[in-house]
Amino acid sequence: MPFGAHMSISGGIANAFARGAQVQCDTIQIFTKSERQWQAKPLTADDLAAYHAAQERTGIRPVVVHDSYLINLASPKDDLWERSIAAFAEELERCHALHIPYLVTHPGAHTGSGEEAGLRREAEALNRLLDAGVGGEVLILLETTAGQGSALGDKFEHLARLIELVQHEERIGVCVDTCHIFVAGYDIRTPETYTHTFAEFERIVGTQRIKVLHLNDTEKELGSHIDRHTHIGQGQIGLEAFRMLVNDPRFRDLPMIIETPKAKAMLEDVQNLAVLRGLQNQAAPAQ
C-alpha cells in the first residue's frame, strides 16, 4: 500500500522526489506548475531528464498531479471556460510528457447556472479534450469535494453523472478525499457508517473507479461543507475511519496521499505517515 504526501516542486519539478524521500513517501502528489497562475514555463528536455532520474533514484511511484485551482471546466462564462479548457489541456500534456498516470481535478463550480448545467458544461469540455486525444492515456480523476458554494462533486451522483456524460469513460476515474466526503455529509467514523458510505459509492459510481485516496482529517463537522484539513486522527473524523481505510482490501494497492498542514521541515508529514502505517494490520479496538 503506497503512502505519500503532497510535495512542493520549488526549485524544479525533480526536487519533489528528494522531499518525498526525506519523509519516507512511497508515492507523492505534486503540481507541475504554480497552482495559482495560468501560465507555465514549458518543460524542457533537461527538466524531463532530471525528473525521471530523480524518480529512478528514489523509486517513488506512482506520482499523482493535482491541477491548478484556477481551472473551472463547469463555468457558464465562455471566456473562463475556454481559458480553463486550454489550461487543463496543458496540465494533461505535462502529465503525459512526465509519464504521470493520474491528473486529479475538482469537478468545478456552476456559479449559478445549476448543477445539471454545470455537469454538462464540464463533460462538454472533457469530451472536447478526450476526443482530440489530449494527454495520451493519462487518467483524469474527479475528486470528491466539500461542496462549498456552487462547487460540484460533493454528491456521489455528480461523479456518476459526469462519467455518464463523458464519451471516453475509460479515461475517467475518481479520487476520494476523506475530509471532503465527511464535510459533504458522508459519515465514515464507525464500521456501520463506513460500510454504508462505501456501499452507496459502489451503488452510485462503483468502487473500481477509485484510483487515488486523499487521507485528511478535518477541523469541521459532518455535513458542514467547509474544507479545513487537519492531522490524521486529530479532527472530527478520528482514527477509526483511517484504520478501516488502510485495511480495506478494495483499496490495498491504491496511492494514499496526505494533504495535511506542515511546516518547512515537514515533520508533520513524518508523523502523519507513521500514524497511517501504524494502523495497518491492526484490529479495531473492542467496544
Averaged pLDDT for residues 116-130: 98
Tell me, yes or no, if 177 is annotated catalytic: yes
Q: Note the pLDDT of residue 283.
A: 66
Q: What integer pLDDT is reported at residue 66 of this predicted model?
A: 98
- Ordered by where they begin, the domains of the chain are 3-279 (3.20.20.150)
* Catalytic entry in 209, 229, 231, 243: 229
Per-residue pLDDT of 236-276, as tens digits, reads 999 999 999 999 999 999 999 999 999 999 999 999 999 99
| Residue 286 pLDDT exceeds 90 | no
- Has 154 been annotated as catalytic? no
Concerning whether 69 is annotated as a catalytic residue, the answer is yes
Catalytic residue among 158, 227, 231, 243: 227
168 is known as an active-site residue: no
**DSSP string covering the chain, please?**
--EEEE---TT-TTHHHHHHHHTT-SEEEE-SS-TT-S--PPPPHHHHHHHHHHHHHH----EEEE--TT--TT-S-HHHHHHHHHHHHHHHHHHHHHT--EEEE---B-TTS-HHHHHHHHHHHHHHHHHTTTTTTPEEEEEP----TTBS-SSHHHHHHHHHH-S-GGGEEEEEEHHHHHHTT---SSHHHHHHHHHHHHHHT-GGGEEEEE--EESSPTT-----EE-TTSSSS-HHHHHHHHT-GGGTTS-EEE-----TT-HHHHHHHHHHHHHTT-PPPP-
Confidence band of 96 (pLDDT split at 50, 70, 90): very high
- The pairing of strands 210-214 and 172-177 is parallel
List 143, 154, 217, 269, catalytic entry: 143
pLDDT digits (tens, 9 = 90+) for 179-230: 999 999 999 999 999 999 999 999 999 999 999 999 999 999 999 999 999 9
- Respond yes or no: is residue 66 known to be catalytic: yes
Q: Which residues pair with 28 in a beta bridge?
A: 5, 63
pLDDT, position 285: 52
Selection from 71, 64, 65 nearest residue 26 by Cα: 64
Indicate the residue type of 210: I
Active site residue 82: no
